[in-house]
Amino acid sequence: MVLVRTPTIDSRGRHTHVWRSEAATSGAGRSLSGLGAPPQPPSELELRAIADETREHITEIVEDSGMDTSRVLAVIEQFWELYGTPEVGRARAVFDRGDGTVAKVAINDEGYSANSFEVRASAEPEKYLPVAKSEFLDVDDYCSVVIAEKVEIVIAQRGELPAWTDFIDGAQVGYNSAGELVAYDL
């Protein structure tokens, strides 16, 4: 069994996720066994606190990177206005665009490199491992932004997924809309 995180929208129109258990199979026709009721969405106060902490975290990463802080943060704020609070990793802020895609904004040099590699791997899948379709978005000459297809994230134990997933940092893979298992974070 693997855990799959599925994005959903709660009764207030906010983006959230539901976790469910699935049999470890490939693509379409996966069987569901369910994990019960989804957790309650956070309150408005909790959402504001999360947003404040997220902004502080992003600002620290950008300032430590040596990148042009004001330009990167301006792009982040534009996406925040459009799509709400992002998920933040060590190199990128990721915004769910609500249309089956995500915007990945580089917040340091590692994020810039990851964006470049994902676009290259998406364009030449025969040379690389399966990766979510990705393309650059021209937002700012300085800031790297990629639009990528959103995937249903899969969390599994070693050996439950194809061997190629062992080469992906943290086995960050999921199912795309075609039911194909692809990497989403390289």
* 116 and 101 inside one domain: yes
Q: CA–CA separation, 132 vs 129, rounded Å?
A: 10
Whether residues 78 and 88 fall in one domain: yes
One domain for residues 87 and 132: yes
Longest CA pairwise span in the chain (Å) = 48
For residue 147 the two structure tokens come to 């639009």
Give this prediction's pTM: 0.75
Same domain, 184 and 132: no
Q: List the structure tokens of 44.
A: 């408005």
Pair 126, 35 in one domain: no
Q: Is the pLDDT of residue 18 over 80?
A: no
Q: pLDDT (tens digit, 9 = 90+) per residue, 63-78?
A: 999 888 899 999 999 9
Domain count of the fold of the chain: 2
Which domain range does residue 32 map to? 1-39+152-186
The Cα 104–Cα 133 span in angstroms is: 12
At residue 121, does pLDDT exceed 80? Answer: yes
pLDDT, one tens digit per residue, over 77-94 is 999 999 999 999 999 999
Q: Copy the structure tokens of residue 33.
A: 């066994």
